[in-house]
Amino acid sequence: MEGGAAAAAQALSRIGLAGLAVMGQNLALNVADKGFAISVYNRTTSKIDETVERARREGQLPLFGQYNPRDFVLSIQKPRSVIILVKAGAPVDQTIAALSEHMEPGDTIIDGGNEWYENTERRISEASAKGLLYLGMGVSGGEDGARNGPSLMPGGSHQAYLNVRDILEKVAAQVEDGPCVTYIGEGGSGNFVKMVHNGIEYGDMQLISEAYDVLKNVGGLSNSELADIFAEWNTGELESFLIEITADIFNVRDEEETGNKGELVDKILDKTGMKGTGKWTVQQAAELSIAAPTIAASLDSRYMSGLKEERQNAAQIFKKEGLEEDFSSPISGVDKKRLIDDVRQALYASKICSYAQGMNLLRAKSVEKGWGLNLGELARIWKGGCIIRAVFLDRIKKAYQRNPGLANLLVDPEFAREMVARQGGWRRVVGLAIQNGISVPGMSASLQYFDTYRRSRLPANLVQAQRDYFGAHTYERVDKEGAFHTEWSKLARKARI
C-alpha cells in the first residue's frame, strides 16, 4: 500500500510530534501514555523506529511512526496540531517549511524548543499568512520531565492552545493546585517566560555552587557531609529539584577510578558550558532597565569558569606575589555548625532576590508587549516539572496573588520578614567568604541588591552632581520640583577662595 493510503487506513492521531531527539521522544511517549494517539516523525528514520519500539515496550502505547512529512501530517485529525522539537533557529524554520506544505488553514504548529521569542513572533506572522496557528511553548524538566510531567509554557494563538489544552493538561506535571501548564499570553510570551526560567535556573545553580564552595573551603566539609547537608536542606524551606540532585551528586563515586576512591564531582573540570538562554535573560534585563545582578553574576561566573588556563596562570602569578590559593580548611576559628546554618540562610535569601529579579523582568516585558502576564500563575506552573521547581514557589505564587501589583517580591510582608530574619547569617557568610578570598558573586550580588533596594537614600545624588558638573545633564532636588543646573566649577572656585 502507498504510504498516504496506509496512513489513511489507520485511525487518525489526535496530535503529531516531529523531532525525536531526547526531549521529543520522551514527550511523545508521555502524550501516548496519557491515552492520546500520536504520530511521530523524524528526518533520520532510525529515530522513528527507536521511538515506536519504546512505545511498544512501555505498554503498547498509541504512538505511530510516519516516514515522510506528508504522511505524517495527513495522519493527524483536523484541525491538526503538530509539536516540533528540533534545535532552535534554522532547523525550526526548515521543519516548519517541510510540514506546513501539507497543512491546512486552522492547523497549528507548536514549537517546544528553547527559542528566541522574536523568532516565534516572526513565525507567528508567517504562519498566519497561510492561515496556520502557532504556539511557542517553553518545555522544562529535561528528559525525565518530558517523559513523566514537564512544566509547559505555551504562548501565541489562544485558539491553538484551546485545541490542545486537554492534552497539555494531562501531559504536564501535576501539583496540588493543578497541572503545570497555563496559557501564558500572546506572541513570543511562552518562549520569553521559559527564557527567564532559565535565567533563574542559572542563578540558582550559581548560588548552590557558592554554598558548596564556602562549606567546602571555609568549613572543611567532605563530600559525604555535603551530601547529608543538602539532603537535610531538601526537607525544609530550600526543598527543590536542584537541591535534591545536588545531594545526590556528592554521593556519586568515580567509576573511572580503580580502588573505589573519590567522588566524581572532584574529577569534573571546572568549566561551565551553556546554550545561551541565560545570556538572553541578562541582555533583556539590560534592554528593559531591570536590575538582575544575581542572574548577571551567574552568567559572568560561567564566562570566567571558561578561562581555565588563564586562571591557572593567574594563580601562579599571584602565588609568586604571596597570595596563595591555599585553603587549609576548615579555616581556624570557624564554628562549623553555625556556618552550615548561616549558609542555608544565605542561600535562601540570595535565591529570593534572584527570583525577585526574574519576576521584575517578566513584568517589565509584559508591560512593554501588552502580554498581561500573571506572575502568580507563572510561579504556580513552576512548582512542578521544571528545573527550578521548589516548595517556596508556592509562597511566591501567594505573594503575587495577595498583591498582583507587588513592586518587588522583597517587600511582600512575608518575604520582607524572612529577609530580615536571615540577613545576619547572610552577611556573615558573604563577609567570611570575602575575607578568605573565596568569590561569592551570586550571594554578594543578591545581598547588594537587597541593600540597595531597601535604602531610601543612595549615593546617587553625587553621581547626579558629577553628571551635571561635566555635562550639564541637570539634576532634580529633594525639596522642590524641576530640573536644575549648577555652574559647579565656578561655585567651587568661589568656595576655594
Select 275 or 319, whichever has its Cβ closest to ligand 6PG. Answer: 275
Q: Note whether 180 and 382 are within 8 A (CB).
A: yes
Helices (H), 113-260: 117-129, 142-148, 158-171, 189-217, 223-233, 241-251
Q: Select which of 47, 115, 121, 194 is catalytic.
A: 194
Q: Is 114 in the site for ligand 6PG (CB under 6 A)?
A: yes
Of 196, 195, 184, the closest CA to residue 371 belongs to 184
**Interatomic CA distance for residues 341 and 236, integer angstroms:** 12
Long-range pairs, 486-493, Cβ under 8 A, ≥24: none
Would you call 201 a catalytic residue per the annotation? yes
Select 92 or 386, whichever has its Cβ closest to ligand 6PG. Answer: 386
CA dihedral 63, 68, 71, 73 (to 10 degrees): 80
Closest distance to ligand 6PG from the beta carbon of 422 (Å) = 27
Q: Is 373 helix (H, G, I), strand (E, B) or coil?
A: coil
Is there a binding annotation on residue 473? Answer: yes
Grid cell of 15 as nine digits: 496530535
Closest distance to ligand 6PG from the beta carbon of 109 (Å) = 20
Q: Is 66 in the site for ligand 6PG (CB under 6 A)?
A: no
Out of 74, 109, 387, 396, point to the residue binding ligand 6PG (CB under 6 A).
Answer: 387
Q: Is 275 in the site for ligand 6PG (CB under 6 A)?
A: yes
Q: Is 88 in the site for ligand 6PG (CB under 6 A)?
A: no
Select 191 or 234, whichever has its Cβ closest to ligand 6PG. Answer: 191
**Interatomic CA distance for residues 356 and 364, integer angstroms:** 12
User: Residue with the closest Cβ to ligand 6PG?
Assistant: 140
Grid cell of 485 as nine digits: 543646573
Q: Is 206 in the site for ligand 6PG (CB under 6 A)?
A: no
Residues 224-253: x where in contact with ligand 6PG by CB under 6 A, - otherwise, as a string: ------------------------------
Contact region with ligand 6PG (CB under 6 A), list: 51-59, 268-276, 319-327, 442-450:
268-276
Out of 13, 182, 209, 277, point to the residue binding ligand 6PG (CB under 6 A).
Answer: 277
Q: Which element (helix H / strand E) includes 362?
A: helix 336-369
Q: Is 201 in the site for ligand 6PG (CB under 6 A)?
A: yes
**Interatomic CA distance for residues 54 and 72, integer angstroms:** 19
- For the chain, the straight-line distance linking the first and the last C-alpha, in angstroms and rounded, comes to 102
**Interatomic CA distance for residues 39 and 65, integer angstroms:** 6
**Interatomic CA distance for residues 168 and 152, integer angstroms:** 8
Closest distance to ligand 6PG from the beta carbon of 47 (Å) = 20
Which amino acid is residue 33, in one-letter code?
D
Q: Are strands 178-179 and 15-18 parallel, antiparallel or unpaired?
A: unpaired
Is there a binding annotation on residue 367? Answer: no
Which amino acid is residue 165, in one-letter code?
R
Residues 115-174 touching ligand 6PG, rule: CB under 6 A, are 140-142
Is there a binding annotation on residue 43? Answer: yes
Select 269 or 495, whichever has its Cβ closest to ligand 6PG. Answer: 269
**Interatomic CA distance for residues 281 and 200, integer angstroms:** 9
Select 386 or 432, whichever has its Cβ closest to ligand 6PG. Answer: 386
Contact region with ligand 6PG (CB under 6 A), list: 152-160, 274-282, 404-412, 459-467:
274-282
> How big is the site for ligand 6PG, counted in residues (CB under 6 A)?
13
Residues 394-433: x where in contact with ligand 6PG by CB under 6 A, - otherwise, as a string: ----------------------------------------
Q: Select which of 47, 115, 121, 201 is catalytic.
A: 201
Q: Classify each residue of 373-411 as buried b or exposed e, where b means 16 or more C-beta atoms within 10 Å of its C-beta.
A: bbbbbbbbbbbbbbbbbbebbbbbbebbeeeeebebbbe
Q: Classify each residue of 118-153 as buried b or exposed e, where b means 16 or more C-beta atoms within 10 Å of its C-beta.
A: ebbbebbebbeeeebbbbbbbbbbbeebbbebbbbb
Q: Is 30 in the site for ligand 6PG (CB under 6 A)?
A: no
Q: Which residues are annotated as a binding site?
A: 19-24, 42-44, 86-88, 114, 140-142, 197-198, 202, 275, 302, 467, 473
Residues near ligand 6PG (CB under 6 A):
114, 140-142, 198, 201, 273-275, 277-278, 386-387
Annotated binding site for NADP(+): 19-24, 42-44, 86-88, 114
Question: Annotated catalytic sites, by residue?
Answer: 194, 201
Which residues are documented as binding site for substrate?
114, 140-142, 197-198, 202, 275, 302, 467, 473
